[in-house]
Structure 1
Amino acid sequence: MRNLLMSTAFSAVAITAAITSAAPASAQDTLACEPGETYVMNVMVSSHAYWVPVYQGFKQAAEAFGCETIFSGTPDYDITKQIASFEQDLVKSPAGILLHPMQSDPFIEPINRAIADGVSVVTFAADSPKSNRSAYITSDNRAEAKFAAEEIVSQLGENGKYAVLENPGQSNHDLRVTALIDYMGANYPGMELVGRQATNQDSNAAYRATASILQANPELDALWIPEAGSAEGAVAAVLEADADVLIMHADITPTTLEHIKAGNIHMALNPNQGIQGFTGFLATFLAARPEAIDPFNDYKVSGANPMQIPFIDNGFAVITQENADSFDLNTYMEGRDPS
């Protein structure tokens, strides 16, 4: 027993010494950028208002580490064009790229090739899970869908008709839709899905789709939309039809924010975009500098990048008439550099 106690005491002393000892100087020295070291944020539909706070968070974190940033992507909803923009980014030899992939599988090979060439890649808001990307930052899309379903039921009761719009192929939007449908089916079988149409973030397509759903289902009670662009068209169709439909959507644009203020949209569930960009930069930066991390695993033998984070949840906010002013993009950008 005495030997055991001595051994335990010795272990405690050793552990305390290990915890309080200084970190290697090499780790401290790597947490800053070299002159000209650049990180890129690449997106699709680059003019969308959603990216603005994300890039501001990305840029804020980069400036703290003395790094340069570039905002990149394509103005189109076109996977081929986004991949081409990603390839053009690689020509600039960035240290890392924070990527919102429009579709997951087409980006597997470009992401893997970039990483093989020494460029770190982290995905955000949408994922390419079969690629070698080192981290994925997003809000919890299943939690968003559950919240939306419960809110619809709390407002309408457990029996009614609802419809969804969707954007097949974009992972976060797919999950927001399928998770809500599955949750309704499992918990509220009295809620009947009467319409499901693809609108692909096109407000005109959403207007036509919603008008068609309303024509076939004039007693439609609720509409769930996985993003704000389609919500713009959907609310226009509902207003034109003078229909009483509870509309909820994910994300936010200045247009849908005004509709929330006016009471035309019930609420929006919006990922914390600044957190998404800030943590996105940190994950991309650390993946580019694996020498700064000693994670107590087999990375030295396996050769794997030790900076592997399967999922970072940046959380989401609920936007209603009461707090809508807090999500005014013009107010947010006052005093900030938009570039």
Structure 2
Amino acid sequence: MFNRYRTLGLIVILLVFCYFLYQFVSPTLKIDHLVREMNQSSVVSKSMKHVVLIAQELDNPFWRAVEKGANEAAMQRGIAIDYMGPIRINPTEQTKLLEKSIAAKPDAILVQGMKGQPYTQLINKAIDQGIPVITIDADEPDSKRIAYVGTDNREAGKRMGELVIQDTAERGRIGVIIGSEWADNQQLRLEGFRSMISNTPGYEIVAVRSSNISRIQAAKQTEALLKQYPRIQTMVGLSSLDAAGIVEGLKAADRADVRVFGFDDLEVTKEGITDGLITASVVQQPREIGAQAVELVDAVFKGDAIPVQHFIATSTLDRDDMKSKGNSP
């Protein structure tokens, strides 16, 4: 009997080990598969320009919208888009993707900027090999990238600050959830937000936490923040999944007295605004970002000069906007 239980225990341990091994290697296997597909497509359509679009996270709704806009613009210009990204946000895998994409020698690369010398060096390597690189969503200004296309993230952070100050009378203690500590766009949004809050009497950012671009983590971080700082009156999320996660964290903490502000207009965010769970959101235009990035790449292919910074405007969304669009129940 003892030997039987020991055997079963060993089998369970082996299965758990295999599961975690698969989780560890599967992103790399996916990267290799995507790069092979890119190489094969390049052989089939030599007449087309091939542009690699590297997302921060493969199936993130924001990045899928960027992909859609890029593909729409590419179809009009005879350009093929090879879209890829880590299965889950992972700076190491994102760096590997960039490295392998350069080795595949595409005609251009669109990629999110990311802090770190190895990443900057890879962008420089691509430029030195004659591969144009445009950063999107987050810039890498210390690299040789030829342009940035995306939100003016510092100004977007300021706009968030204006929303909070206008709509949170006597709710000056603020908790902030950012998407990633690695992404320059998140730091710039936080910087812009801080500049507004620090110059307004009665308002204070009591803590900042990272969700790692995860709705579940945003919920967990919110619940932990409220336990540590129970006097928080306002929660702000600076990436697209944060607001929905914050709402879930508030429910878990049994707090209905905290106002929530978010980023972007995912369906779950719009539902939260309609239901009064989210006060307002700063909205980017990811589809337009993808389209404009491809337009600039096409201009580079034609030898035209392009602006170093190409900002795409943001807007705001609140319950009145939802009512005017007929989205109110």
**TM-score between the two structures when normalised by the length of structure 1:** 0.76
Q: 1:324 to 1:51 in 2, by over 3 A?
A: farther
Which residue does the alignment assign to 2:216? Answer: 204
Q: Distance in 1 between matches of 2:283 and 2:317?
A: 7
Q: 1:179 to 1:106 in 2, by over 3 A?
A: farther
Question: 1:72: how far off?
Answer: 1.3
Which residue does the alignment assign to 1:218? Answer: 230
Question: 1:79: how far off?
Answer: 1.2
Which residue does the alignment assign to 1:191? Answer: 203
Does residue 1:182 correspond to 2:180, yes or no? no
Does residue 1:279 correspond to 2:321, yes or no? no
Map 1:137-286 to 2 at 5 A.
137-157=149-169, 160-166=172-178, 167-186=180-199, 188-240=200-252, 241-286=254-299
Map 1:284-323 to 2 at 5 A.
284-290=297-303, 293=304, 307-323=305-321
Q: Distance in 2 between matches of 1:236 and 1:63?
A: 40
Q: Is the 8 A contact 1:134 1:287 kept in 2?
A: no
Q: Is the 8 A contact 2:62 2:240 kept in 1?
A: no
Which residue does the alignment assign to 1:106? Answer: 118
Q: Is the 8 A contact 1:73 1:86 kept in 2?
A: no
Question: 1:102: how far off?
Answer: 4.0
Q: 1:177 to 1:271 in 2, by over 3 A?
A: same
- 5+ residue gaps, structure 2: 1-44
Give the aligned residue type for 1:243.
Answer: A
Q: Is the 8 A contact 2:56 2:63 kept in 1?
A: no
Deviations 1:154-178 (A, max 9, x none): 1222662111112212111111112
- 5+ residue gaps, structure 1: 1-32, 294-306, 328-339
Does residue 1:119 correspond to 2:131, yes or no? yes
Q: CA RMSD, aligned part only? A: 2.3
Q: 1:208 to 1:98 in 2, by over 3 A?
A: same
Give the aligned residue type for 2:300.
Answer: A
Question: 1:135: how far off?
Answer: 0.5
Q: Is the 8 A contact 1:159 1:192 kept in 2?
A: no
More displaced 10-residue stretch of structure 1: 315-324 or 91-100: 315-324
Q: Distance in 2 between matches of 1:245 and 1:212?
A: 14
Deviations 1:171-193 (A, max 9, x none): 1111111221122112x131022
Q: Is the 8 A contact 1:104 1:129 kept in 2?
A: no
Q: Provide the identity percentage.
A: 23
Local SS of the residue matching 2:173: strand
Q: 1:93 aligned to 101, 105, 108, which one?
A: 105
Deviations 1:97-134 (A, max 9, x none): 11113435432111111111121110011111111110
Which residue does the alignment assign to 1:128? Answer: 140
Q: Distance in 1 between matches of 2:323 and 2:132?
A: 37
Question: 1:308: how far off?
Answer: 5.0
Give the aligned residue type for 2:212.
Answer: N
Question: 1:228: how far off?
Answer: 2.0
Q: 2:57 aligned to 31, 36, 45, which one?
A: 45
Q: Distance in 2 between matches of 1:228 and 1:206?
A: 11
Q: Distance in 2 between matches of 1:319 and 1:264?
A: 13
Q: Distance in 2 between matches of 1:199 and 1:130?
A: 26
Q: 1:117 to 1:271 in 2, by over 3 A?
A: same
Q: 1:274 to 1:203 in 2, by over 3 A?
A: closer
Does residue 1:80 correspond to 2:78, yes or no? no
Give the aligned residue type for 1:86.
Answer: L
Give the aligned residue type for 1:316.
Answer: T
